[in-house]
Chain A
Amino acid sequence: MYYSKQQDVCLERVNMRRIVLLSFLLSLFVFCWVLDGRAKEEDFPVPRPPFSEGIFPCSNCHAGMEANTKRRELKEEHTNIQLKHGSVSRWCLDCHDATNRDMLKLASGEHIDFSHSYELCGQCHGPTYRDWKVGVHGKRIGYFDGGPRTYFLCVNCHNPHDPKFKPIKPEPPPFKPLYKYNPAARSGK
């Protein structure tokens, strides 16, 4: 060996520093990249979530309240909510964040905005989420090409607390072939 141990140590230190720096930069890059990628995927042109009137932001009421994390029947507020959505295994704070009431909470603990609620739904409903992202499940309106469009959120059609699509009144059937409609008779009524 023709270089001293001192030098060796020195070199090692420099290398270490480089590695740390590099790996830091690399991880930063990866983090940014991942964030970026995530942001891209979530960039769906969705409408404002269908909040009940005057209910949002939730922090208006919840800000001064201490979170009661005990699973229970709500008796004072939100009594209109009948949870019919996996109600045996799930309750409010599985989705609503206990610490920040204006946000939703993923299983990972990550907070998401209400306008990104599809991510929350997608945790359990994987295939449906996949179909929704490509436009095969759910409803889209506007331009599919060359203009603004809107992708309806899951919660635009499914009440998250009671997601089954409710029966609706159908529009009238067509007139029978020989039926003669009399507009005067109708307006006279």
Chain B
Amino acid sequence: MEAWRFYKKTLVLVAKGRPIYYCWCALLLFIMAVGLWFYMKQMETGLIVTSMRDQVSWGLYIANFTYLVGVAAAAVLLVIPAYVYHFDPIKEIVVLGELFAASSIVMALLFVTVDLGRPDRFWHLIPGVGKLAFPDSLLAWDVIVLNGYLVLNVIVPVYILVNSYYEKEPVKSFVIPLILLSIPWAVGIHTVTAFLYNGLAARPFWNASILAPRFLASAFCSGPAMIIIIFQVIRKVSQIKFSNEALFKIAELIDYALFINLFLLGAEVFKEYYSNTIHLAPLEYLYEGLRGHHVLVPWMWLSLTFNVTAFLLFLIPRTRRSLPTLNIGAFLIIVGVWIEKGPGFVAPGFIPDPLGEIYEYFPNFTELAISLGVWATGLLVFTLFMKVAIPIVRGDFVHSKYAKIASKIEPK
């Protein structure tokens, strides 16, 4: 009964907000509806409505999936520095970080789902009911670790939040192990996702041992960069206080990761160009163009420019410690890493294809609309999470004070 009352109150909390909140949600719902419409069309006609073909059989969806798994992993890894540097709002960081991770995983899973040809047969993936090919298939591993990660990142913040709601201290012996578990698990999801590509001898571009480390390094850039932006937004719309110092510290961490990422890229570029075997082709395609095909070349150079610029911005203390340049840097990283790790990673695995054919994949409007729909879904999920979590964390939405807060959240 009490639980039901909590849910009801939560629903009320979610349903009420300032006009900007309604606008934001309406916008997201509209994008979701458009995406859904295109998705229905894709289901009805088949994946032929996308630009994917046998030559390049994964595209924007799987690119986004890869990126978001990284983001999800990094969001939780932020918990470590929060502990190490004794950031003040540690509980907030854990809760927000994990909820952000959960939202990212929701998006990642949705991206896999929209990429599936036969989502109606998803039950074939359920162990015991279907025939999940564990441990043979890395995709089976991914199904398990991603869902496990989702559960973990819902349980921990929800547990903390519900306890806060009842004004109780969370049982440390229960929650701390879970938080600690989520840290290696975060590394795990991104490693498994890297191995998913890494294990394919048919695709030399992916079949490089440097892949998993590179994935982690780039995830450590894009995830925290998003968090920098999101923390500032949260700071604006709620009364939660994050010190600038925490943001600058995150930026410093990003810079280390960015350096490693650029270094690993350099290592790969050196190996391929110096040895100059036919496996150079995908890299050549990315940065120079291959036999007259160069759709991705400007994007890759843009990405490299963004990453290097952001690296410099975050390296120089003056630009790192000023909010405008910090935000520019964060934005450059989010976009730069997305290009590098999404389209710049998935497509060249297929170019040239195993029989030497070059098909220049470029996502079409359907894929774009569906992808935006998924992003909107993730953002909506995160917004709703925040709508409930922030008042709880702030101590406004608690069991005893419910009556008080009900009046407080009314638009002024």
Contacts and interface: CB of A to CB of B under 8 A. Distances in A.
Nearest to B361: A177
B113 interface: no
A177 B53 CA distance: 6
Interface string A159-189: 0000000000000000001100000000000
Contacts, number: 7
A177 B56 CA distance: 9
Interface string A30-63: 0000000000000000000000000000000000
Nearest to A180: B48
B51 interface: yes
Contacts of B359: 177
Contacts of A178: 51, 53
Interface in B81-107: none
A177 B48 CA distance: 10
Nearest to A176: B359
Interface residues of B, number: 6
Contacts of B51: 178
B55 interface: yes
A178 B54 CA distance: 11
A161 to B, nearest CB: 40
B33 to A, nearest CB: 28
Contacts of A177: 53-56, 359
Nearest to B51: A178
B52 to A, nearest CB: 9
Nearest to B48: A180
Interface string B36-79: 00000000000000010111100000000000000000000000
Contacts of B54: 177
Nearest to B364: A178
A40 B55 CA distance: 51
B36 to A, nearest CB: 25
B49 to A, nearest CB: 11
A99 B219 CA distance: 90
Interface in A87-135: none
B356 to A, nearest CB: 14
A65 B53 CA distance: 68
A151 to B, nearest CB: 33
Interface string A70-100: 0000000000000000000000000000000
A174 to B, nearest CB: 10
A178 B360 CA distance: 10
A152 B54 CA distance: 37
A177 B54 CA distance: 8
Nearest to B359: A177
A28 B387 CA distance: 107
A180 to B, nearest CB: 9
Interface string B359-370: 100000000000
7 contacts: A177-B53, A177-B54, A177-B55, A177-B56, A177-B359, A178-B51, A178-B53
Interface of A: 177-178
Those 4 A-B pairs whose CB atoms lie nearest each other, nearest first: A177-B53, A177-B359, A177-B55, A178-B51
